[in-house]
Structure formats: structure tokens, C-alpha cells
Amino acid sequence: MSYVNRLCTRQQREITDADKKRLTTVFALCDVDKDGYLSREDLKMAVIMLFGYKPSKSETNMLIGPDSQFQGVTLDRFVMLVAGKLSEEDPYLKTRQIFNAFDAHQRGFLRIEDFQAAFCRVAPRLPERTAVEAFRQADHDSDGHLSFKDFEAVVNYGRANI
Ligand SMILES: [Ca+2]
Ligand SMILES: [Ca+2]
């Protein structure tokens, strides 16, 4: 069996029906001109929707593949690509992506309102007041800014206690 075939088999086993449904929806939303292919820009938007960050140029190239006759990514290929990404997702990266997504101005810290939005996403069932509490506790120097390190500690604590 070739490397590519093995890769596909492995990835297809890991994808659930719920994932597939979600990916089909995202694909449809991002395929703006409805031609059944995601262009480079469409694909970037899909990654933002799914993973909460904008992919770099090299990452986009990697997702698109070496095909120089690039027409776009079909739904099947998209599902395969994303299944691979989903399975390699680790908690650190995920936290990093959430942090980056809410650190809208890329300042390297979150303010309370950014944090509340991020917290809501990590722990949607916890009340808003908990987010405020968590922010206060994590902001050791009380300057109203939460660094990634502080944020990571809170998220890890939150995950362990939900
Ligand atoms: Ca398209
Ligand atoms: Ca601080």
C-alpha cells in the first residue's frame, strides 16, 4: 500500500459523521462562488472557521498540495485534509490558537473582554462571572492583561475542572 493510501485510510477512519457534517457545512459556506472547489482564499476562511486562526502562506500551500494546476480543493479532499489536522490537534496548539484568535490585535495579551469571549468558547457552560473570577486570579500582577502563559494555566485548570 502506498504512503498516500495509508494516510487516507488512517484519516478516514478517524473522522466521525458529525465531523463530516460540520465540514460539509463549512465547505458550503466557504465555497463562495459555489463551483464545488475551495480557492486559496476560501480555504483560508475555512481554516479560520474551523481552527480559529489564519493559516500562514506555507501552511495554505501544504493544504493545497503540490498541484500546480490548482483549481481548488474538492469536498472529499477538504474532508481528508481537515481530518488529518483534527487528529494532530494537541491541547497546547489548541490553546495557542484560541489565544491568537482572541488576541485580535496581536498584542500578546488578552484584556478582560477578549478573555471572556475566549473563555466562553473553551467552557461554554460556565457562567460569565466565573470568567471574571478566573481572569482576576490569573492576572497575577493585576495590570488587566493576561499573557499566553497565564491564559494557558487558566485553560488547563478549566479543562480539568469542567
Ligand atoms: Ca469556489
Ligand atoms: Ca497581567
Residue ranges covered by each domain of the chain: 3-88, 91-160
Looking at domain 3-88, which of 3.40.50.1360, 1.10.238.10, 1.20.120.160, 2.40.128.50 is its CATH number?
A: 1.10.238.10
CA of 160 to the centre of ligand 2 (A): 23
CA of 55 to the centre of ligand 2 (A): 28
Nearest ligand to the CA atom of 149: 2
pLDDT tens per residue, range 84-127: 776 665 677 778 878 888 887 889 999 999 888 877 777 777 78
CA of 101 to the centre of ligand 1 (A): 25
Q: Of all residues in the chain, what percent carry a pLDDT higher than 70?
A: 80
Cα(40)–Cα(71) distance, rounded to whole angstroms? 9
CB burial class (10 A; 0-12, 13-18, 19+) of residue 9? exposed
Domains 3-88 and 91-160 agree in fold: yes
CA distances from residue 119 to 114, 123, 139, 158 in whole angstroms, order as listed: 9, 6, 14, 9
Could you tell me whether strands 109-110 and 146-147 are parallel, antiparallel, or unpaired per DSSP bridges?
antiparallel
Angle between helices 40-51 and 57-64 (to 10 degrees): 110
Nearest ligand to the CA atom of 145: 2
pLDDT tens per residue, range 7-20: 444 444 467 788 88
CATH topology classification for 91-160: Recoverin; domain 1 (1.10.238)
